[in-house]
Chains A and B, each alone.
Chain A
Amino acid sequence: MSPDRVTPDTGGGDAKSVMNAAEIARTTTRMSHELLELAGGAEDLVILGILTRGVPLARRIAKAVGDAEGIVVPSGELDITMYRDDLRSQPLRPVGRTVLPGPINDKVVVLVDDVLFSGRTVQAALIALADLGRPAKILLVVLVDRGHRDMPIQAHIVGRHLPTARSESVRVAMAEMDGHDEVTIEPDEATL
C-alpha cells in the first residue's frame, strides 16, 4: 500500500531536453517581472507552489519578486492530493502538506506549477484554496504550458509554450530536489 513518491526520470535515453538551466533561470526572472507588472506591486502577494515541483519554482519567483521590490514576499506550499478528481482510480497517493505563510483572505494568491497540461491539477488547487480562505484574486503561473486542456483553464503567465503530443510526457527537474534544472520531453507517457 505504501505509495512511492514519484520521482521524474530525466535520464531516459529517448528524453529530449527542451530547456536547460540557464533558460529556466532566464524564464523565471521574466515571469517574475511579468507577475509584478500584472499584480501592480508585491504587497498583497502570497505565492503558493503546487506540490511537488511547483514548490521550488514558487520560492524562486517569490525571491525574485521580493528582491525587485525590496521586501520579503511570502511563499508557501499547496498539496492537492485529496482534491484530485482521479484519486479513486489511482493507486494510493501519499498525502503532502499544505504550508501557508499566513492567512490568504483578501490576498492575491499566485498559484505556481511546473507544467500545465489537462488543467485538472489547477482545478483541484482552486477547490483546495476555497477550503483555506477567500483570496481577493488568484493568478496562475506555470513554467511550461504543453497544451491538451480538458477544461477551460488558462495561465496568466507562461514560461514556455511547448507543443507536444498527448502521449508524450514533459518532465521538469528542479535543482532543489533533482540536483539540476532541466525540462525534457519523453516520447511515451510513463504511468504516473
Chain B
Amino acid sequence: MTSPRFLSSPATKEPGVSTDTSAFVITGAQLPDGTRTDLFISDGVLVGERPDNAEAIDADGLIALPGLVDLHTHLREPGREDAETVASGSLAAARGGFTCIHAMANTTPVTDTAENAEHIADLGREAGHAQVVPIGAITKGLGGKELAELGLMHQSRAGVRVFSDDGNCVMDPGLMRRAFEWVRPFDGVLAQHAQDSGLAGPGACCHEGELSGRLGLAGWPPVAESVIIARDVQLAEATGSRLHVCHVTSAEGVDVIRWAKARGINVTAEATPHHLYLTTAEVVGYDTLYKVNPPLRTDEHVEAIRAALADGTIDIVGTDHAPHAPQDKDHAFADARPGMLGLEQALAVVMETMVHTGRLDWAGVVDRMSAAPARIGRVAEQGRPLAVGEPATLVLVDPARRATVDRDDSASLSRNNPYHGRDLPDPVELTMWAGRITHRR
C-alpha cells in the first residue's frame, strides 16, 4: 500500500531547505487536540525516545499539524514553465505548509499517459520540496471524447489514483459512467469539474446575478454546477465508484452533495480558499485577477460553503492554485485566463474564515487540509497523525502572527495573488516532509 519511493529517499542530495541533521527535537509544540508535547524525530519518522545529535527546534507557542495535502494544484510544467514549474510550485506549497500536492492534468502535453505521469512525479522528486502526485486526465487530451489510459497511469511508477479533466467538465454522461467503471477495480477516484457547458459555456465568467447583468459579463449560474453534481453522484451510485467534486461554489451544489452523502453515495467534495473568502463583488472593477472558474459568488453562497466545510458536507480544502503569466491575464475580463494562486495563503484563509470564526478547531483543520485529502487521494504516508511510528511530516504554525500579503514574497513564478495587500494570518513557521525541513521562516 505505502509507496516508500515517495519518501525523501537520499535526503542529502535534495535541493530543498535541506539539513545535514536527520534527528530533531521539537519542544513545546501544541498538538491539534490541544495537548503540549515534545516531538522526537529520527530518520524521517516520529520516535518515542529523544535521539542523539538532534537539532533542537523551539516550538513554544506554535501548533504542530500533520503536513498539509492539496488535492488540486495546477503546476504549469510541462508546457508553461514561465508561469510555474514543478519545482517552483512545490516550493510554494512547502511555504504554505503543504507536504503533498496533486498536480492537475491540464498541462501541455496533458497528463494522459503513464509516461507523462511518471515525468511529473520524477520532477517532483528531483525538486524535493513536497510530494508531487500527478493527477491523470479522464479523457485523452482533456477532449471529453475518449478515455485516457487510466489503468496504465495507475500501474505506472506514478501510481495515479485521482483522475480529472479539471478546467473542463466531462459532459458526456456515458463516458463518465465508463470512467467510473474503469477506475473502480483499482480504487481510483474521478475528480469532476462540475460545469454544465450548456448552462455555463466557455464565455461564462461571472456569477450570474445582478452584478453580471450590470457589468455585461456572461453569467455562470449555480445551477450549471449543481446539475452536474446531481448527475455524477447518481452515476457514482449506479457504478459503485468514487466521485470527488472539485471546487464546490454554490449552495445548490452543497445541497445535492448533502443528499448524496445521506444516501450513502461515495462522494467527497472540495472548497477552495478563494471561494471561502472572496465574493463576486471583487469583479466590479473588471480586475482579471479575480477571474476564476468557477467564479466567485455572493455572500450567501460563501456562507453555504463555509457551513458545508464546517459540517463535513464538503470534505476538504483544495487550493486550485492556478498560476498565470501577465500576458495571459492582461486581456479583457472575458478573454483573460481564469485562476488565481492559493498554495501560500490557503492555511491563512482557512484560519481567517473557519478557525477565527469558530467554525473549525485545529483538529478540524487537520482533517480538512491533511487527513481527508490524503485519504481521498489514497496517499498512505501523508495526512497521518503525529504519533510515534508515523512519518515526520508536519507543519509548525504560529496561530497569532499576521501580516499584509505581498505577492512578491512568493516562491511561485506567477503573481496573480488575490490576497495581495490584505491583512491575513501568516502562520507557517516550518514545514517538514518525512524528517526533512522543506521550509523554514
The answer to A–B direct touch (Cβ < 8 A) is no
